[in-house]
Amino acid sequence: MKEYRHDALKRMKTIPLFKGLPETQLHDLSRITVLRTFGRGETIFAEGDGADGFYIVLTGRVKIFKLSSEGKEQILHIFTSGEPFGEVPMFLGERFPAYAAALEESLVLYIPKTAFINLIHKDPSLAMNMLALLSIRLKHFTRLVEDLSLKEVPQRLAAYLLYLTKIKNKTEDIELDISKGQLASLLGTIPETLSRILNKMVAQKLIEVRGRKIRIVHTEAIELLASGIKTLT
Amino acid sequence: MKEYRHDALKRMKTIPLFKGLPETQLHDLSRITVLRTFGRGETIFAEGDGADGFYIVLTGRVKIFKLSSEGKEQILHIFTSGEPFGEVPMFLGERFPAYAAALEESLVLYIPKTAFINLIHKDPSLAMNMLALLSIRLKHFTRLVEDLSLKEVPQRLAAYLLYLTKIKNKTEDIELDISKGQLASLLGTIPETLSRILNKMVAQKLIEVRGRKIRIVHTEAIELLASGIKTLT
DNA sequence: CGGGTACTTGACAATGGTCAAGTGTGGTGG
DNA sequence: CCACCACACTTGACCATTGTCAAGTACCCG
């Protein structure tokens, strides 16, 4: 990890969390924040670390994950540019309940607790932005819990493929934005299981796979799978 | 469901969400809220209903849950006196993403969206209270995801038993606060599986079970289970 | 070209769910 | 006060899904 003093004011203006915040306050804030870079795979914080501040992704991607006692990983979130992480345990004055690591070379902004707490008491728009943020995150978790408890892996995978087509506005040809190993962890399973299910889908002519590139051949069937109406035999 | 006009001002003062709110505003709010009672098992809202307001439990208990396409239930939350629910989808202007039903005869306060949105813009303490609330809820979900994905049912059950001892400040004799069927749904499993695991624990002299009353005989072993160090063979 | 990582494949084990048939048990009404 | 019904829970036999372990292959980066 490398650390820099900086003048990231321009960058901070584009962060949704700071929308509506007076420029002067943003300027003050920028002077006590720190830029940090993390290499691919590098740990940003570990479960149990004290949360004396939080982070915002500027470039790259960061995963938040838990580890089981046997070492299995469950990804809770993947954050990209402009998204804050680690702010909840900071609010609560607790330790981080999960790990954070860079999925790729990433630039993040570190914001110390006291500075932010002062600011949020001064400016109501910051509190409202924060509320919106946490609300969206809660919704995300609701779906994650639902998936893990009530759906099988093929259904979760189908839903993820459709999600990719949606955010990329492509209907058929998509490219995984993470490795298959990481995808397995995101879907709450392991690489072996994911591999087998992809195979099955290929065998049933639902999709074609070439490395990270996936072509959805039978969209209808994938949608039926994702909605839980059908199962993958 | 029965509905009443009311003067629940006294009750509203005791709700943590409204802590620090000027009495005048609370009074205004109380005049546009509605009291509703729901019988045991009665639905309060269904997934997909428009969220034109949210609720606060005054007496009784309310479960928030999802249903799979085959009818399996996963409880996301159980809320008791003083706790609000349904506020997140209301914030986001979306439909309820889950069901809510009364676990027992319950009295709830219904708060229409517009009144609350006005209030939150006027009073920053309300936003801060809300932030604290959502933060705690996120933490809860983090643990739920972790449990569902990384732990097995006996470990989740052990953790729940320890949780009961903690909130009741008892070390050995505890009483389930919900039916075993509902407990299964809370732990992300089904009654049959829960029943078998309780049996196993009894057979291994970890606990004794008499209806809803459970006595933890071998606390140490339960703690090892809950922490994931041991498994139940 | 070499080496490591990511991914795949196979044989196997186990956790947990399904289905079906009991066994209570508490509450209500006769 | 007792009988009965509904409902919660239990138990057994079975099976599906998914994880484990162990090799092997492909692929990318230096």
Report, as an integer, the average pLDDT of B212-216: 95
Greatest mean pLDDT range, A3-12, A118-127, A224-233, B181-190: B181-190
* Residue whose entry in the numeric block shows the structure tokens 């997909």: B48
Q: Which residue is nearest to nucleotide D27 (CA to C1')?
A: A211
Report, as an integer, the average pLDDT of B25-54: 94
> Of A105, A232, A212, A219, nearest to A156 (Cα)?
A232
pLDDT band at A4 (very low <50, low <70, confident <90, very high): low
Please check the confidence at residue A134 and state whether its pLDDT lies above 80. yes
Please, are residues B218 and B158 in contact by the beta-carbon 8 Å criterion?
no
Cβ contacts of B59 within 8 Å, gap of 6 or more: B81, B106, B107
Report, as an integer, the average pLDDT of A103-130: 92
Number of helices followed by number of strands (H, E) in chain A: 9, 12
User: Which pLDDT tens digit goes with each residue over A75-114?
Assistant: 999 999 999 999 999 999 999 999 999 999 999 999 999 9
Distance B50 CA to D14 C1' (A): 43
User: Which pLDDT tens digit goes with each residue over B113-168?
Assistant: 999 999 998 888 899 999 999 999 999 999 999 999 999 999 999 999 999 999 98
Bases in strand D with any atom closer than 7 Å to a protein CB: 8-13, 17-22, 27-28
Which residue among B132, B138, B188 places its CB closest to the CB of A138? B138
Report, as an integer, the average pLDDT of A193-207: 97
Report, as an integer, the average pLDDT of A216-229: 95
- The continuous run of DSSP H or E covering B174 comes out as strand B173-175
Please check the confidence at residue B7 and state whether its pLDDT lies above 70. no
User: Which pLDDT tens digit goes with each residue over A151-180?
Assistant: 999 999 999 999 999 998 877 889 999 999
Test A128 with B130 for CB contact under 8 angstroms. no
User: Which pLDDT tens digit goes with each residue over A36-75?
Assistant: 999 999 999 999 999 999 999 999 999 999 999 999 999 9
**DSSP strands (E only) in chain A:** 2-4, 34-38, 43-45, 53-59, 62-67, 73-79, 84-85, 99-102, 106-112, 173-175, 207-210, 213-216
CA B95 – CA A191 distance, rounded (Å): 35
> Of A190, A186, A162, nearest to A63 (Cα)?
A186
Which residue among B136, B142, B228 places its CB closest to the CB of A98? B142
Pick from A150, A155, A185, A189 the residue to mutate for testing the B interface (most B CBs within 10 Å): A150
pLDDT on residue B193: 98
Structure tokens at B93: 């202007």
Structural domains in chain B, sorted by start: 2-147 (2.60.120.10), 151-226 (1.10.10.10)
What distances in angstroms separate CA A189 from CA A199, B25, B28, B32, B207, one per listed residue? 15, 50, 51, 48, 32
Collapsing DSSP to helix, strand or coil, B43 comes out as strand
Question: How long a stretch of residues is chain B?
Answer: 233
- The continuous run of DSSP H or E covering B65 comes out as strand B62-67
Cβ contacts of A114 within 8 Å, gap of 6 or more: none
Enumerate residues near strand D (beta carbon within 7 A). Answer: A 70, 72, 152-154, 188-190, 192-193, 197, 211, 231, 233; B 179-182, 191-192, 194-196, 198-199, 209, 212
